[in-house]
Amino acid sequence: MKFTWFNLMPWPDLPDDFREKNRSVWVDIPSRYFDPVRAHQVYNDHLDCLEYAAQVGFDGIAVNEHHQNAYGLMPSPNLIAATLARRTQDAAIVVLGNSIALYNPPTRVAEEFAMLDCISGGRLVAGFPVGTSMDTNYCYGTIPGLTREKYAEAHELIMRAWHEPEPFAFNGRYTKLRYVNVWPRPIQKPHPPVHIPGGGSVETYDFCIDNTYSYSYLSFGGYIRGKALMDGYWNRVAERNTPDNSPYRAGFAQFICVADTDADAERLYAKHAHYFYNRCLHVFPGFADAPGYRTIKTLQKGILNQYAPTKIFEEVPWGELIESGRVIAGGPETVRQRMEELIKGLRVGNVFCLMQMGDMPKDKVQHSTRLFAEQVIPKLRDIYPDYASDSRFWCHPLAKRVTPASLPVEELAR
């Protein structure tokens, strides 16, 4: 099993009446809620937590890309990944990922990922999401009906840029380049492992199967609700006569809070879970799905319950957050049991552990993170022994990596 500590980087200061006063946490959220001076602290706290997770033994630390969004302060995940590459030693740097249709030209992603791979000594896991409709269409203006075509072309360009040793001309519909010649180039050959965050598009299932990429479902709905979608993926894997059904072909994101006891978990974390579900997920439904963003094929397949005209995230009590599987919380043994259900039920080798929720402060995050690393991970490590050697979906760092030099403190003091 691979456990990756995944941080969304929420803004912690949305007011109590945020939902009543504003229509969306995303796209058109008023800028007055953002305080740059406060952000100095917020960013550094989040970075501290990511680095802490690497220190206590998570396999990877993950960041992602969102725009104009108060629960995701990383318009550029690569900036965050770059700082992490310097301050961590062994953990995989998982960027989940760059919305490649939004980069102009997309070779920018090939370049920056290569930089991260070089700086980190081959620790990069590269994510290529299509991007949400909020980010891709409403914040960055990509035409919904052309988003997937643009994405596919960007993917082709990046892959050719990494694979082909000589400069080449690329005559795409969306990008035309006379000299594609990515420099620097990644350590991992031919390229870092690729994970594709998806949301139930049939095309994305096939894309992962065809390219041997890992499919990750980064939902906030929890593992019980996520089962239908993951089953859809595994059915597709079977239907397509995929050579194997290694659990590492799939990943799942899950909110996890560990305390010494179940009661402590509620006492410590419930209010932060409520902050996340009731403020951070307050997204105007009109932004959720620009017409043309999803393919007709996907709409017809009918994973549509989430579009029903009822409120998706109603104020729910802690008990129900736990019951419904949206949050796995409790003492180490409770969490272990439910994680085992998740890992076996969804058949996932990659778990993206969301351990910071909403406005959860650093000390609580680190407490939970440490308990999970020390008391839960070891008991879940070998759930899929038959696939222990499947390294196709994980990074291959250099055996001998440099350590950032310490600063010349004495000289500076003089």
Partner 1 sequence: MTLKTIATARVPVRYYEGGSGTPLVFLHGAGGLNMDQTFLDVLAQRFHVYAPLVPGYGDSEECAELRDMLDFTLHTWDVVAALGLKDPVLAGFSMGGMIASEMAAVAPHDVSRLALIAPAGLWLDQHPIPDFFAMLPFELPPVLFYDQEAGAKAMTAGVDLSDPNFLQAFLVQNARQLGAAGKILFPIPDRGLASRLYRIRAKTHLIWGDSDQLIAPAYAKEFQRGIAGASLTIIPQAGHAVPFEKPAEVVAALSRLL
Closest CA to 315 of 307, 326, 331, 306: 326
Out of 57, 75, 144, 172, the only residue in the binding site for partner 1 (CB under 8 A) is 144
Instruction: Decide: is 232 part of the binding site for partner 1 (CB under 8 A).
Output: no
Peptide bond into 243 cis (omega under 30): no
The Cα–Cα gap between 369 and 351 comes to 14
Q: At what angle do helices 36-55 and 77-87 cross, to 10 degrees?
A: 50
CB of 145 to partner 1, least distance (A): 4
Task: Please report, for residues 5, 35, 56, 209, 214, the alpha-carbon distance to residue 390 in angstroms, rounded to integers and kept in the order given.
Answer: 21, 45, 24, 15, 12
Binding positions for partner 1, 153-182, rule CB under 8 A = 173
Out of 195, 294, 338, 347, the only residue in the binding site for partner 1 (CB under 8 A) is 294
Select from 60-68, 224-232, 293-301, 328-336 the region that touches partner 1 (CB under 8 A): 293-301
Question: CB of 274 within 8 A of CB of 376?
Answer: no
CB of 288 to partner 1, least distance (A): 9
Instruction: Decide: is 141 part of the binding site for partner 1 (CB under 8 A).
Output: yes
- Letters for 301-330 (x = contact with partner 1 by CB under 8 A, - = none) are -x-x--xxx---------------------
Select from 83-91, 155-163, 290-298, 349-357 the region that touches partner 1 (CB under 8 A): 290-298
The Cα–Cα gap between 96 and 23 comes to 27
Closest CA to 120 of 75, 144, 84: 84
Beta strands 124-127 and 176-180: pairing type? Answer: unpaired
CB of 189 to partner 1, least distance (A): 35
CB of 199 to partner 1, least distance (A): 15
Query: By C-beta, is 304 or 388 nearer to partner 1?
Result: 304
Q: What is the CA radius of gyration of the chain?
A: 21
Out of 79, 238, 263, 299, the only residue in the binding site for partner 1 (CB under 8 A) is 299
- Letters for 265-284 (x = contact with partner 1 by CB under 8 A, - = none) are -------------------x
Query: By C-beta, is 44 or 104 nearer to partner 1?
Result: 104
CB of 141 to partner 1, least distance (A): 5
Select from 65-73, 81-89, 139-147, 227-235 the region that touches partner 1 (CB under 8 A): 139-147
Out of 5, 6, 128, 138, the only residue in the binding site for partner 1 (CB under 8 A) is 138
List the structure tokens of 106. Answer: 């997309």
Instruction: Decide: is 228 part of the binding site for partner 1 (CB under 8 A).
Output: no
Q: At what angle do helices 77-87 and 107-120 cross, to 10 degrees?
A: 10
Out of 30, 167, 190, 285, the only residue in the binding site for partner 1 (CB under 8 A) is 285
Which residues touch 399 (CB under 8 Å, ≥6 apart)? none
Select from 142-150, 202-210, 243-251, 367-375 the region that touches partner 1 (CB under 8 A): 142-150
Reported residue count of the chain is 414
Closest CA to 342 of 260, 264, 175, 227: 227
CB of 173 to partner 1, least distance (A): 8
Out of 68, 120, 132, 137, the only residue in the binding site for partner 1 (CB under 8 A) is 137
Q: Give the long-range contacts of residues 11-20, CB within 8 A, separation 24 or more.
A: 11/42, 11/70, 11/71, 11/73, 12/42, 12/275, 12/358, 12/359, 12/361, 13/38, 13/359, 14/70, 14/275, 14/279, 14/280, 14/359, 18/279, 18/282, 19/278, 19/279, 19/282
Instruction: Decide: is 300 part of the binding site for partner 1 (CB under 8 A).
Output: yes
Query: By C-beta, is 149 or 341 nearer to partner 1?
Result: 149
Peptide bond into 122 cis (omega under 30): no
Q: Which residues of the chain form contacts with partner 1 (CB under 8 A)? A: 137-138, 141, 143-146, 149, 173, 284-287, 290-294, 296, 299-300, 302, 304, 307-309
